[in-house]
Amino acid sequence: MLEKILLLLSLSLSVAEELCKPGVGEAYKVRFSIKTALGDQAYPWNKNEMFLFRAALAFAMRDFTNGEEFGVSDIHPCNETQRVSFWFVVTRPNTMDLVDKGTVEMAIKKSRNRINGAFLLTDKTLEFDGIYPTLAAPVSPDTPPWLIVFGVVMGAVSVGIIALLVYPLVQRKLKKNMDADDEDSDEETGVKTAENGANDGIYNSTFSDDERFTQM
Amino acid sequence: MGKDAGPEERPKWDNKAQYLLTCIGFAVGIGNVWRFPYLCQIYGGGAFLIPYLIALVFEGLPLLFLELAVGQRLRKGSVGVWKTINPVIGGVGIACLIVSFLVGVFYNTILAWVLWYFFHSFQEPLPWSTCPLNESRIDYNLECKKSTPVNYFWYRETLNITPDIEISGSVEWGMVICLASAWCIVYICFIKGIDSVGKAVYVTSTFPYLVLTIFLIRALTLPGATDGLLYLFTPDWQTLTNPRVWLDASTQIFFSLSVAFGGLISFSSYNEEKNNCERDAVLVGVINSATSIYASIPIFSILGFKATTAFNACKDENILALTNYFEFSDQNITLQNYDYWYEYLNTTYPEKFQSLSLRECDLQKLLKQSVSGTGLAFIVFTEAVISMPGSQVWAVLFFVMLFSLGLSSMFGNIEGVLAPLNELKLLPRWMPKELISAVICLISFLVALLFTLSSGNYWVEVFNGYVGSVPLLIIALFEIIGVIYFRGMKTFSDDIYIMTGRRPNIFWKACWMVISPLLLLVVFVAYVIVQAQTRPTYQAWNPDYEKFPETEEKLYPDWVFAIIILLCVVPVISIPLVALYQLLRGRFRKSSVGMELNPYDNDAFVTDTQEQKTQRA
């Protein structure tokens, strides 16, 4: 039993070594920049993290191919460096046939966010060499915000102009009405003062006759 | 109360502060923020202050004092003042009118651009921080990728600029409504003449100082600020031997103080006669220069910050390339030990290192990238603002500050148009001043629609370079000659004695009679020579240029060159024309006096009254 397991392991290892050749065939290179992304909270890279990677990638393959039972053992990494970068290939479940680059790429693109999330990284810090992240479409709201600000400013200015132009006209009209009222009261008082004033001076009687004539 | 109403009551300032704030606002404009720091930078930093201050004392202050004194004493706008001194030089006022109008038209277009950026600063993220996607949505827009998002937003989304001044393109509607807003705001401030302007300047003249102080505090705390400041103020005494420096210092002072527009004469004519205009002139001149120096501190701190950010970004790029190539552990090479690793790897693996073709990261080179004018405000500054936390706030503050600075200068331009128009009695008397202001703003807006074409930016450069330069020098020269030689130094000294209580001292007299006219003449001649040496060119934004994103240098076509000549000549042509007209009229009148068969005309009295007139004036 033990011998069989050992044989299988060595076989798979050698097969993996043959399958996964950097820069050749269906292999992809991946780079982790954990310290850049997380700073003090960076976790160290070890075999467990590698296991997580293989599991995440197996998930991505399953998700994309809709059910094909990819497992952790179908992801074969090699040439690991202290950069934390390595190459990997994907084989079909239970076989040694390599999955072509295109399929792997599309699977990764589909589940990119999930893979990033598993490692607390981003598109920039978890880099798949050759797979470019889909660009986020810039947010374009229905009404451009600048028109709103323009509307507010111009509205205030227009109201101001109209107010400044109309206010003196309104004031003038009010004043005219007030003046008309004042004139009525003024006439009465004016007559009174004339009478009062006439008492102060020397009253010339010759003119009083004239007034009677002019009234006609 | 209009100037033509009833018993000719002239509008008055509510208080002295309004008058001073208006004059300071007129003098302090956008140029203080985006022209002076640039000159300081290219002309050896702290050393530039020497020619600048010398020019201020011997050229700027005398001219300023002259204009304020003349306006306050003769109590008329720019046309009335010169007519009163001597009808022969009445043309100077008309020249002021034309120059003020033309400068007002293109200056407000710059304010329209500032408004556009202000409106767009209320977005998250700022629209000039990222590139838009191209049609296939796979990649970014090509023009934006090759240059920068900030350049793209300015040249493409704001101006939609054509590659050549001859290709006019179409009217940009976004820009038209910004231009309309700018003119409406100018109108509302000018609606009641100086009654409303006097109130508006409480805000527009003081707000920029508040914002500059806020920026100063913010900018000094940014990383890299000290590099920028050191670069700005480190004096390079060698530059003082270059005559170009002295020329630029003199022209900068002259244009910065906004003399020869006629606006200052109008503003001071609304003062009471017994006002110390000598102190006012010195105050305005000194505050103008102090503002320039004060503004250059935050500007250069921010430029230093921008250079440092670009420098660190360049280093980060190289670090990533090196880490990836040599498979070092992440963050082994940092910004701090970058230099050590750079040298080490270069010496240990030279071939591999060269194959990487890393970018050369040089902080001094980045600091040297000097920009002035619209490039400073709309490209360099907006890029710096993106990297500052709370970008929207800083962008909004900055553009409101620019708008206030420009608006208070526009008041002077509009006054320089309205006051002469009223005095020339070209307008019917029944028109209220609100209607006159509205008509002027409307006509200016329609003319400025030229600048909303796709090639508009090139035209603004044409106007800026030629209307706002040579004609002003000529007008200023004639102003000094008019006052000192037509009015006479003695009469003018008496005027000042009446107004301030003491005669001008030997310094002022020496400046007015000899130094300032000489300086102006030298500046004018040197300016013309420098301009005439080379065929004028402009920088065009051409995406098809092979060295894009660099701007392509193109020659102005002949018809544009003809327009440039017109722009320099038309404003000042009125000076000789009016002089000629007055001389001929005077001679004509002398010869026709005998021909008048007016039975009541007693020749003996005709000459008397003429003498009396000249004595009174």
Q: Is B405 annotated as a binding residue?
A: yes
Task: Name residues whose C-beta falls within 8 Å of residue B517's C-beta, 6 or more positions apart in sequence.
Answer: B477, B480, B481, B484
How do strand A85-90 and strand B552-555 relate by DSSP bridges? Answer: unpaired
Range from A98-107, B233-242, B314-323, B475-484 that averages highest in pLDDT: B475-484
- Confidence tier at B617 by pLDDT (50, 70, 90): very low
- Assign B363 to helix, strand or coil: helix
- Does B98 reach chain A within 8 Å, measured CB to CB? no
Residues B290, B516 contacting (CB under 8 angstroms): no
pLDDT tens track for B43-101:
888 889 999 999 999 999 999 999 999 999 999 988 999 999 988 998 999 999 999 99
Residue A211 reports pLDDT greater than 70: no
Per-residue pLDDT, averaged over A50-56, amounts to 92
> Tokens for B616?
């009174």
- Does B569 reach chain A within 8 Å, measured CB to CB? no
Q: What percent of chain A stands above pLDDT 70?
A: 75
User: Across the interface, which of A31, A36, A135 has its CB nearest the CB of B133?
Assistant: A135
Q: What percent of chain B stands above pLDDT 90?
A: 46
User: Across the interface, which of A32, A83, A165 has its CB nearest the CB of B327?
Assistant: A83
Q: Is B25 annotated as a binding residue?
A: yes
- Helix spans in B327-390 (H): 338-348, 350-356, 363-368, 374-375, 382-387
- Does B324 reach chain A within 8 Å, measured CB to CB? yes
> Tokens for B29?
């404009």
Q: Do A83 and B140 touch (CB under 8 A)?
A: no
- Assign B24 to helix, strand or coil: helix
Q: What percent of chain B stands above pLDDT 70?
A: 94
pLDDT at B560: 92
Q: Do B327 and A81 touch (CB under 8 A)?
A: yes
CATH topology of domain A14-128: Alpha-Beta Plaits (3.30.70)
Burial of B15 (0-12, 13-18, 19+ CB in 10 A): exposed
Residues B30, B407 contacting (CB under 8 angstroms): no
Chain B CB contacts of A31 under 8 Å are 324
Distances in Å between the alpha carbon of B348 and those of B147, B321, B353, B361?
35, 17, 9, 20
pLDDT at A179: 77
Q: Do B119 and A135 touch (CB under 8 A)?
A: no
Per-residue pLDDT, averaged over B296-302, amounts to 90
Better-scored residue on pLDDT, A139 or A22: A22
pLDDT tens track for B178-214:
999 999 999 999 988 888 999 999 999 999 999 999 9
Residue with tokens 């670009």: B310
Per-residue pLDDT, averaged over B579-605, amounts to 65
Residue B598 reports pLDDT greater than 60: no
Mean pLDDT (chain B) is: 87
pLDDT tens track for B325-350:
888 888 888 888 888 888 888 888 88
Burial of B267 (0-12, 13-18, 19+ CB in 10 A): buried
Chain B CB contacts of A36 under 8 Å are 330-331
Chain A CB contacts of B149 under 8 Å are none
Q: Which residue of A has its CA nearest to B180?
A: A154
pLDDT at B297: 92
- Does B134 reach chain A within 8 Å, measured CB to CB? no
Q: Which residue of B has its CA nearest to A133?
A: B138
User: Across the interface, which of B177, B327, B329 has its CB nearest the CB of A150?
Assistant: B177
| In chain B, residues 151-190 whose CB comes closer than 8 Å to chain A | 177-178, 181, 184-185, 187-188
d(CA B416, CA B265): 9
- Assign A30 to helix, strand or coil: strand
d(CA A46, CA A88): 16
Task: Name residues whose C-beta falls within 8 Å of residue A82's C-beta, 6 or more positions apart in sequence.
Answer: B327, B328, B329
pLDDT tens track for A118-145:
988 888 888 888 887 777 766 677 778 8
Question: Residue B26's closest CA among B109, B103, B113?
Answer: B103
Q: Is B256 annotated as a binding residue?
A: yes
pLDDT at B45: 80
Residues B14, B198 contacting (CB under 8 angstroms): yes
Helix B277-326 and helix B61-74, axial crossing angle in degrees, nearest 10 = 140
Q: Do B328 and A83 touch (CB under 8 A)?
A: yes
Domain boundaries, chain A: 14-128, 141-172
Residue B5 reports pLDDT greater than 50: no
Among A142, A149, A158, most B C-beta atoms within 10 A, so best to mutate, is A149
- Does B327 reach chain A within 8 Å, measured CB to CB? yes
Q: Which residue of A has its CA nearest to B432?
A: A165
pLDDT at B599: 59
d(CA B225, CA B305): 5
Per-residue pLDDT, averaged over B445-468, amounts to 91
Q: Which residue of A has its CA nearest to B116?
A: A146
Q: Do A83 and B196 touch (CB under 8 A)?
A: no
- The model's pTM: 0.83
Residue with tokens 């009679």: B513
pLDDT at B70: 93
Q: Do B329 and A34 touch (CB under 8 A)?
A: no
Residue B27 reports pLDDT greater than 70: yes
pLDDT tens track for B488-526:
999 999 999 999 999 999 999 999 999 999 988 988 898
Among B114, B118, B119, most A C-beta atoms within 10 A, so best to mutate, is B119
- Does A122 reach chain B within 8 Å, measured CB to CB? no
pLDDT at B7: 45
Chain A CB contacts of B196 under 8 Å are 164
- Confidence tier at B396 by pLDDT (50, 70, 90): very high
Q: Which residue of A has its CA nearest to B327?
A: A83
ipTM value for the complex: 0.77
Residue B394 reports pLDDT greater than 90: yes
Chain B CB contacts of A85 under 8 Å are 324, 327
Q: Do B122 and A149 touch (CB under 8 A)?
A: yes
- Confidence tier at A205 by pLDDT (50, 70, 90): low
Q: Is B437 annotated as a binding residue?
A: no
Q: Do B329 and A82 touch (CB under 8 A)?
A: yes
pLDDT at B596: 46
Q: Do A157 and B122 touch (CB under 8 A)?
A: no
Question: Residue B262's closest CA among B409, B79, B443, B481?
Answer: B79
pLDDT tens track for B353-389:
888 878 888 888 888 776 777 888 898 889 889 988 8
| In chain B, residues 397-416 whose CB comes closer than 8 Å to chain A | none
- Confidence tier at A183 by pLDDT (50, 70, 90): low
